[in-house]
Structure 1
Amino acid sequence: MKNILVVDNQISFCNLIKNFLTKIGYQVETSTQASHAIQLIKESYFHVVICDYRLPNTDGNVFFEMIRKVSPDSAVIFTSNQINLKNVVTMIREGASGYLSKPINPDELVEILEEDHIKKINTVKNLKKEAPIDNQPEYVVGNNKRAKEVQYNVNKVGPTNYSVIIEGKTGTGKELYARLIHQNSSRRDQPFIAVDCGCLSKELAGSGLFGHEKGAFTGAISHKIGFFELANGGTIFLDEISNLSSDIQMALLRALQEKVIRKVGGTKEIPIDVRIISATNEDLLAKSETLGFREDLFYRLSEFVLKIPTLKERGDDLFQFIDFFLEKTSEELGRQEPPQFTDEAMALLEAYHWPGNIRELKNAIKRACLYINKNNLIPATSLPERIRNTHRLSVSSNGTLAETVRENHNTYQEEEKDLKSVALMAESEKIKEVLKDVKYNKTKAAQRLNIHRKTLYTKLKTMNIGY
């Protein structure tokens, strides 16, 4: 249950919000004075502070600083009778979790409060604020040629104002690369606004992107600032952009061409200076040929196209990702030393095709870290069933993974159509040949085979090659 503090000079407003939130399960305290509110925050931890931007003898900037000094982990949502765009942008940049206009829309308030990581969200669902440049997200560059090429291109296109399309399968880290592009640009100190276009309904997409005026449609009970206004001066990241409807695509094209937007229900044109980075797991150019995506919009968005390889295409980078996620998960769980996977588990991780890419690997490792044995090892049985059954190399109750591999080797001639068995046998023979040529120096053998040394050790173990 979240503890919430409501701070407003109007006791009636405090009681209204308290009664509403209490009915849906929140623990709520109220205060009408900034000094009293700070005292309450010192005495008790509040997950969220909902406060009016203009309190008696204190404005929002000063009060926000006071809260951050006393309780830096508390999320802060500002309210105001009159929305001032400058104030909104300033407070969002400083780290506020939201800015709502009065009268408060209960649905909007609950939408923010129900976010899993409220201190990282912005004024609406699916809108995230970028961390400061000094706290940029950690990631694995890798040694794979394609991964290094992606990093090279990020460094090249980052300092420009080019519109970028990031192409990649689900889970390859498209948003992370968008953030890196933003952080490599002159806009790094301005907002980075991420929008999941797949979550924007056809009816409300225009309102979400461009905002709306009060009374523009049924339910528009207050003025709303859209994503583009919040991103002004910075970068907007449109994830899964292919989900946008044709009329929204037209509005987006106009925004790109004219550098102005118009709110839903409004007549005033608002100048914008926003860099657009888009992401898709589809071929947008091919989709434009089937009338699913505007070709002219594609060419506007694709001043630079960044293609992200799948995890399987990154080869031995897999091991770096495994080590990275083991270390990060250990930190989250408060463990002093990261665990290691057993040889059988590592063989399964390497053999799996990873359709969910890096995100799937991360989730599999987080799950597996709950099943560490007394030797600080993670057994193969801790992995999801889909991974254990990879390429028929599952760990059975009657034997080990290595024994299963040997069985495949012994029976491959009887199963000529089983390409996996044939490939395993050929791979085994090639490893033996190279080892003999380098006088069984495993480091040189790994270099000759162009694989990571860990990969070679795993293959020697699983294939029962005893050198």
Structure 2
Amino acid sequence: MKSILVIDNQLSFCNLLKKFLTKSGYRVETSTHGSHAIQMLKEDTFQVVICEYRMPNTDGNVFFEMIKSVSPDSSVIFTSNQINLKNVVSMIREGATGYLAKPINPDELLEVLEEDNPRKEAKKIGGGEKKSIVKEPEYVQGNSKIAREVQYNINKVGPTDYSVIIEGETGTGKESYARLIHHSSKRREQPFIAVDCGCLSKELGGSELFGHEKGAFTGAVSQKMGFFEMANGGTIFLDEIANLSADVQIALLRALQEKVIRKVGGTKEIPIDVRIITATNEDLLFKSEALGFREDLYYRLSEFLLKIPTLKERGKDLFQFIDFFLEQTAKELGKNEPPKFTEEAMQLMEGYDWPGNIRELKNAVRRACLFIDKDNQIPAASLPERIRCSGRQKNIAHEFQESVESEENNLDQDKDLKSVALMAESEKIREVLEAVKYNKTKAAEKLNIHRKTLYSKLKTLNISY
């Protein structure tokens, strides 16, 4: 008998659906609150979850991730009074089974339930305790020395409850590493909640992280559960942590020290048991003053610092990533076997610097897979222009450098060194100004000089701006 959990804030809807589905031969339980539903999923096995997308105290996307964290084999069907096409597409792409409009058509619901065939069923073990089948995270370890060092560090810190700061350039896969740490911990069957701090507004950041009470501010029409409560027992991943406002940093510091949170507008302290993993593309300690980031918070968060290498630093690991993304995309496109890049294409990819790191590589491979030829090969022409041109630009730059060096060797030894230095200084200032779109404050920062000094040099070197 297929077991179903119905989650909806309207008790009447829960009872109506339970009555109908029970008559249709299903075992049905109900819940009107998100945290209670998550607890039920931890304690029992449900093959299907029918859930209201717009629960009053949580976000549909985040709640879906929580459901899949604690019960990865449950199929999830969302319901809503207001169908938003963007939400529907997003949820289906993330793995939801269906998205039904209210009032629900009984025949349509039964059709979705009958068509649904869960990939795996969670098994009962001794004493009726549920054992979750946890899907291994998709991950390419790599064989380079630097990749092995990262894996060694993850193996060491993963099983602990240490707070971790993951430091790396944009696109290096910091969230994937955070998930890997969570997966190797004792919390692996508990929620993993990922939060992009860059999307948290200064005004509502505290509410999103810690929740709020009804009437706490204009627009707070009901109580809301924050991300920390949702992650209780598991892991919260705070991406781009440097973007947190000063007041939220203080609240986060207290949560780390006291292991309690307080909702915005509330007085009650709520105990939490959450492991915190953060990520940044900045050196938080070195730039703490410039970024407005608290040093005491940094030391609380950095019980362990994990540095992620760039794709360029990983050397031959590049080929493993290419094969991985080829296989992944081939499955997505319904191909029987993964295609291969031609030798010319592989040489271009190996010679490219990949400033966007793994994210850029993945996008390039996915795009290229649309141009597979009859021999199941991908030609160099399918690669983005920036990659194709990169080799030519390097040759031109090399030839230019050789030409400059040759010319310099032929220069008269008595040439005015001061004028050469001024020319170099002028060229550097122009380059930096262009890079920061002629923002003098930023340019002075990058050049490591005072803004007044920059203005003086602009005048002396006759640089117009």
Distance 1:306 1:92, change over 3 A: closer
Specify the alignment match of 1:93 in structure 2. Answer: 70
User: Aligned equivalents of 2:275 and 2:404: distance in 1?
Assistant: 51
Give the aligned partner of residue 301 of structure 1.
301
Shift of residue 265, structure 1, vs aligned partner: 0.6
What's the offset of the Cα at 1:77?
3.2
Aligned to 2:235: 235
Structure 1 counterpart of 2:17, one-letter code = Q
Structure 1 position 94, deviation (Å): 3.1
| TM-superposed deviation, 1:33 | 3.2
Is this contact kept in 1: 2:7–2:50, CA < 8 A? no
Tell me which amino acid in the other structure corresponds to 1:32: L
Match of 1:53 in 2: 31
Question: Among 19, 32, 45, which residue is 2:16 paired with?
Answer: 32
- 2 CA distance for matches of 1:10 and 1:232? 25
- Compared with structure 1, are the counterparts of its residues 81 and 204 closer, same or farther at alpha carbon in structure 2 (3 Å cutoff)? closer
Say whether the 8 Å CA contact 2:167–2:282 is kept in structure 1: yes
Distance 1:63 1:290 in 2: 45
Q: Which residue of 2 aligns with 1:163?
A: 163
Report if aligned partners of 1:232, 1:273 keep a CA contact under 8 Å in 2.
yes
1:416 — aligned with what? Answer: 402
Change (3 A) 1:62 1:32: farther
Deviations 1:425-455 (A, max 9, x none): xxxxxxxxxxxxxxxxxxxxxxxxxxxxxxx
Q: Partners in 1 of 2:86 and 2:354 — Cα distance?
A: 33
The 1:62–1:141 alpha-carbon spacing in structure 2 relative to 1, beyond 3 Å, is closer
Tell me if structure 2 keeps the 8 A contact 1:75–1:118: no
What amino acid sits opposite 1:33 in the alignment?
L
CA-to-partner distance for each residue in 1:133-153, whole Å, 9 max, x for gaps? 731212111111111000000
Post-superposition shift, 1:289? 2.8
* Segments ≥4 residues shifted beyond 2 Å: 6-11, 30-42, 51-55, 59-69, 74-83, 87-100, 104-107, 109-121, 411-415
User: Could you tell me how far apart the structure 2 residues matched to 1:370 and 1:341 are?
Assistant: 12
1:105/1:235 CA distance change after superposition, 3 Å? farther
Q: Distance in 2 between matches of 1:308 and 1:249?
A: 24
Tell whether the 8 Å contact from 1:163 to 1:300 is kept in structure 2 after alignment: yes
SS at match of 2:90: coil
Structure 2 Cα separation of the partners of residues 351 and 178 of structure 1: 29
CA contact (8 A) 1:348 1:393 kept: no
Name the counterpart of 1:361.
361
Change (3 A) 1:202 1:98: farther
SS of alignment partner, residue 76 of structure 1: strand
Q: Name the CA distance, whole Å, in 2 between partners of 1:371 and 1:40.
A: 48
For 1:81 and 1:294, the matched residues in 2 are separated by 33
Name 1:254's counterpart in structure 2: 254
Partner of 1:453: none
Contact kept? 1:198, 1:240, Cα under 8 Å:
yes
Q: CA deviation at 1:93?
A: 2.6
Distance 1:311 1:219 in 2: 44
Q: Deviations over 1:357-403 (max 9, x none)?
A: 11111111111111000111101111111111113169xxxxxxxxx
Cα distance, 1:290 vs structure 2 = 2.5
- Is 1:77 aligned to 2:52, yes or no? yes
Residue 160 of structure 1: how far off its partner (Å): 1.2
| Aligned-partner Cα distance in 1 for 2:215–2:81 | 14
Preserved contact between residue 18 and residue 30 of structure 2 (Cα < 8 Å): no
- CA gap 1:364/1:155 in 2 versus in 1, 3 angstroms: same
- Which amino acid is 2:52 matched to? I
- Please state whether the residue corresponding to 2:261 is helix, strand or coil: strand
SS in structure 2 of the partner of residue 33 of structure 1: helix
SS in 2 for 1:185: coil
- Quick one: distance in 2 between partners of 1:198 and 1:98? 29
Indicate how the Cα distance of structure 1 residues 97 and 264 shifts in structure 2: closer, same or farther if over 3 A, else same.
farther
1:268-347 superposed matches below 5 A: 268-290=268-290, 292-347=292-347
Q: Which residue of the partner structure matches residue 206 of structure 2?
A: 206
Whether the 8 Å CA contact 1:53–1:79 is kept in 2: the answer is: no
Letter of the structure 1 residue corresponding to residue 134 of structure 2: D
1:286 counterpart SS class: coil
Letter in 1 for 2:70: R
**Cα 1:242/1:35, change in 2 over 3 Å:** same
Kept in 1: contact 2:233–2:272 (CA 8 A) = yes
Q: What amino acid is the match of 2:261?
A: I
1:260 aligned partner, one-letter code: V
Q: 1:38 to 1:299 in 2, by over 3 A?
A: same
Query: For 1:231 and 1:97, how far apart are their aligned partners in 2?
Result: 21
- Distance in 2, Cα, partners of 1:344 & 1:207: 52
Quickly say closer, same or farther: Cα 1:295–1:41, change in 2 above 3 A.
farther
Asked whether the 8 Å contact 2:42–2:70 carries over to 1, the reply is no
Corresponding residue for 2:224?
224
Match of 1:193 in 2: 193
Q: Structure 1: how far apart are the matches of 2:179 and 2:389?
A: 36
Do the aligned partners of residues 41 and 119 (structure 1) sit closer, same or farther apart at CA in structure 2, a change above 3 Å counting? farther
Alignment match of 1:115 (pick from 87, 90, 102): 90
The CA distance in 1 between the partners of 2:301 and 2:38, in whole Å, is 38
Aligned equivalents of 2:54, 2:226: Cα separation in 1? 17
Please give the secondary structure, in 2, of the residue aligned with 1:115.
helix
* Structure 2 CA distance for aligned equivalents of residues 116 and 392 of structure 1: 43
| One-letter amino acid matched to 1:341 | F
Equivalence for 2:215: 215
Q: Is the 8 A contact 1:253 1:297 kept in 2?
A: yes
Structure 1 match to 2:351: 351
Say if 2:372 and 2:379, in contact at 8 Å, map to a contact too: yes
Q: Give the SS at the match of 2:255.
A: helix
